[in-house]
A and B are shown apart, each in its own frame.
Chain A
């Protein structure tokens, strides 16, 4: 079974600073990887996804993530954080087998942005 670890429960950065959120996964085959963002009181919105091909993936809102197979990682980055980026971020890995090809989510990283 697949699993996802987000080692940072809470991260605080200043507005304009760079950001990196860590995600490590465990899965026996080539994973399908996702980053979602959840603003307070809202559902989850997809930021970006990796299925195959180029290991550097661009997403919405200026985010990018890099798939590193050797490190089993899919870290999310943004060069300059905006106050509106304050939210909770979830990494997820997709199973390639099973009737509905489920997603397994990490426990989330809460991002606080200081003015």
Chain B
């Protein structure tokens, strides 16, 4: 079974802190994604990566950056956390040949 893991299930940070959210997949997938999920808005794509060291902006990249130094790991970085970044963050991965995305359990981030 494909497994996507995220470093934390719950995280509380203060405004202005630098925050790292880590995602690891074990299926050698080329593509990885970061979404945020907010009530009534569904999932919105922040960034995605189609290869190591490659990244592209999604629909809402402002205030975020990403890093993909190894194929299995995709990190989301909040350079200076703000309260409007309080949300559920979901990581996903998929193979190059397949549309199906596999999701991690999510990280619920609260910024106070």
Contact assessment for A100 and B48 in the assembled complex, using a CB-CB cutoff below 8 Å = yes
In this assembly, does A53 line the interface, its C-beta being within 8 Å of a C-beta of chain B? no
In this assembly, does B45 line the interface, its C-beta being within 8 Å of a C-beta of chain A? yes
Contact assessment for A100 and B90 in the assembled complex, using a CB-CB cutoff below 8 Å = no
Within 8 A of A (CB), among B56-109: 56, 58, 90, 92, 99-106
What A residues does B104 contact at CB under 8 A?
A: 43
Q: A99-B56, A102-B45, A102-B48 are in contact. Are A42 and B100 (CB under 8 A)?
A: no
Interface size range of chain B in the complex: 20 to 34
In this assembly, does A25 line the interface, its C-beta being within 8 Å of a C-beta of chain B? no
In this assembly, does A11 line the interface, its C-beta being within 8 Å of a C-beta of chain B? no
In this assembly, does B31 line the interface, its C-beta being within 8 Å of a C-beta of chain A? yes
What B residues does A36 contact at CB under 8 A?
A: 103
Q: A43-B4, A44-B90, A100-B48 are in contact. Are A90 and B42 (CB under 8 A)?
A: yes
In this assembly, does A107 line the interface, its C-beta being within 8 Å of a C-beta of chain B? yes
Give chain A's interface secondary structure class.
Answer: loop
- The distance from the CB of B91 to the nearest CB of chain A, in whole angstroms, is 8
The answer, among A41, A44, A101, for a CB contact under 8 Å with B99, is A101
Contact assessment for A100 and B50 in the assembled complex, using a CB-CB cutoff below 8 Å = yes
Interface centre among A6, A100, A102, A105 (most CB of B within 10 A): A100
Q: A43-B4, A100-B48 are in contact. Are A106 and B42 (CB under 8 A)?
A: yes
Contact assessment for A43 and B43 in the assembled complex, using a CB-CB cutoff below 8 Å = no
A103 to B98, CA, bound (A): 12
In this assembly, does A51 line the interface, its C-beta being within 8 Å of a C-beta of chain B? yes
Give the B-binding residues of A (Cβ under 8 A).
Answer: 6, 9, 32, 34, 36, 41-46, 49, 51, 90, 94, 99-103, 105-108
Give the A-binding residues of B (Cβ under 8 A).
Answer: 4, 9, 31, 33, 35, 40-45, 48-50, 56, 58, 90, 92, 99-106
